[in-house]
Chains A and B, each alone.
Chain A
Amino acid sequence: MHYTLTFAAVAKHLDVLHRAKLINKHRRGKEQIVSISPHTLAAASKYLETYKQQWENRLDSLDKYLKSTHKNTKGKK
Chain B
Amino acid sequence: MEPIKEISFERTYDASPETIWRAWTIPEMIKQWWGPDNVTIPECEIDLRVGGKIYIVMEAGEAMGPYKGTKWPMLGEFTVVEPNSKLSYTAKAWTEGQKDEATIDQTTELTLTKENGKTKLQLRAAIYKVGPRAGMAIQGMQAGFTQQLDKLNDFLTVKK
Chain A CB within 8 A of B141 CB: yes
Known: A50-B139, A51-B138, A53-B142. Is A66-B121 also a contact (CB below 8 A)?
no
Determine if A51 and B20 form an interchain contact, defined as CB atoms under 8 angstroms apart. no
Chain B nearest CB, measured from A33 CB (Å):
25
Query: Which applies to chain A's interface (DSSP): helix, strand, loop or mixed?
Result: helix
Confirm or deny: B123 has a beta carbon within 8 angstroms of a beta carbon on chain A.
yes
Q: Check: A15 CB closer than 8 A to any chain B CB.
A: no
A56 to B127, CA, bound (A): 16
Stretch touching chain B among A4-12, A24-32, A57-65? A57-65
B32 with A65: CB separation less than 8 A: yes
Residues of A within 8 A of B160 (CB): none
- Nearest residue (CB) in B for A60 is B152
Residue of B nearest to A57 (CB): B145
> Are B11 and A54 interface neighbours, CB within 8 A?
no
**In the complex the two chains form, is B15's CB within 8 Å of A66's CB?**
yes
Minimal beta-carbon separation of A7 from chain B (angstroms): 28
B44 within 8 A of A: no
Alpha-carbon distance between A61 and B5 when the two chains are bound, in angstroms: 23
Given contacts A64-B152, A66-B19, contact A59 B138 (CB under 8 A): no
Query: In the bound complex, do residue A66 and residue B23 qualify as a contact, i.e. CB atoms below 8 Å apart?
Result: yes
Q: Mark A35-77, 1 if CB is under 8 A from B, else 0.
A: 0000000010011101111111111111111110110000000
What is the interface of chain B, defined by CB distance below 8 A to chain A? 5, 7, 9, 11, 13-15, 19-20, 23-24, 29, 32-34, 36, 104, 121, 123, 125, 127, 130, 134-135, 138-139, 141-142, 145, 148-149, 152, 155
**Which A residues fall within an 8 A CB radius of B?**
43, 46-48, 50-67, 69-70
